[in-house]
Structure 1
Amino acid sequence: MRSAFDFTPFRRSAVGFDRLFDMLESSAASGAGENYPPFDLIRTSEHEYRIEIAVAGFRREEIDITSHQNVLIIRGRKADEGGADYIHRGIATRSFERRFALADHVQVTGADLADGMLALTLKREIPEAMKPRRIEIGGTAQPRHDRIEAEVNSETRQSETA
């Protein structure tokens, strides 16, 4: 399905970002109209985040949290409360599923449920091999100007001996 924004010009000039554009297009198509349960996305530091989801009425055993291949999935399945005769039911108890796309190296480090709010903490942990590192310039190669001077001296000596 096409989104309202056309990523074709960006796809032509960006190599290796296909997954990003696919994710943006699919989230634009699937996110239309679904807003239950409400949530907040908070950046707590440069590499740490928190997602808070309002799950009033759900117990710990009715919520399932799964992180798999850069996707965080939170599902809520309300157990059937047979026997209650509601005159009005204003508190939403429908099942839900929320998906969050996670960037590379973002891991869920914890989850807590208190006062009807599910709080998930996330942290970006970049592997040491992927962090920028300074590369020192070694002194084993002869500098260019020294090579040219050595070649001129060599040619001068050869012409003097001839």
Structure 2
Amino acid sequence: MSRVPPFSSPLLVGFETIEKSLERIAKNSDGYPPYNIERCLRDDTEVLRITLAVAGFSIDDLEISIEESQLVVRGKQIDDAPRDFLHRGIASRQFQKAFLLADGMRVLGAELKNGLLAIDLDRPQPERQVKRIAISQRD
């Protein structure tokens, strides 16, 4: 059976990049680190907050960037000194988590507190625009 791409309709023009982004995110579906996405108020404005559980990571171990309409969070821990573990249940582990952002989404800020990395986002309400297109005539 052949696979039908979700954006294969001839009425969806210019959505190829979204389809590629969705495929990339599907490949990045590792459950680590766990995260929440919630609506909350910040300065009387509704925002989205992504909270990742990053216990053991310092602020220097974390990086947040926006790459091709994706919010990418990376964490990398470096074991400085060799240690003699009798039991090792907490691994030094690196991760990369990507979230596809809709057009117009803005990152307001990020905060690391008690092992939780909170990233606040908002989407300003766009002004409704109607633009009339002139039609030229050729004979």
Q: TM-score, normalised by structure 2?
A: 0.76
| Conserved? CA contact 2:28–2:97, under 8 Å | no
Match of 1:131 in 2: 127
* Higher share in strand: 2
Aligned to 1:148: none
Q: State the match for 1:35 in structure 2.
A: 31
Listed as ranges, the gaps of 5+ residues in structure 2 are 132-139
How many residues in Structure 1 have an aligned counterpart in Structure 2? 127
1:48 match: secondary structure: strand
Letter in 2 for 1:37: P
Which residue identity is paired with 2:14?
Answer: G
Larger Rg: 1
Provide the residue aligned with 1:26 in structure 2.
24
Indicate if the aligned counterparts of 2:40 and 2:47 stay in contact, CA closer than 8 A: yes
Confirm or deny: 8 A CA contact 1:74 1:99 kept in the other structure: yes
Structure 1 or 2: more helix by fraction: 1
In 1: Cα distance, 2:68 partner to 2:50 partner? 18
Do the aligned partners of 1:11 and 1:17 also contact (CA within 8 Å) in 2? no
CA-CA distance at 1:69 after TM superposition: 3.2
**Is the 8 Å Cα contact of residues 11 and 18 (structure 1) preserved in structure 2?**
no
Q: Quote the offset at 1:67 in angstroms.
A: 1.7
Does the CA-based 8 Å contact 2:25-2:98 persist in structure 1? no
Identity percentage of aligned residues: 34
Output the TM-score relative to the length of structure 1: 0.67
Q: Given the superposition, is the C-alpha separation of residues 88 and 6 from structure 1 closer, same or farther in structure 2, using an over 3 Å criterion?
A: farther
Aligned CA RMSD, in angstroms, stands at 2.7
Q: Which runs of 5+ in 1 are unaligned?
A: 136-162
* Distance in 2 (alpha carbons) for counterparts of 1:64 and 1:9: 32
Using the alignment, how far apart are the partners of 1:8 and 1:121 within structure 2?
Answer: 30
Report the Cα offset of residue 133 of structure 1: 5.4
Q: Displacement, 1:38?
A: 1.0
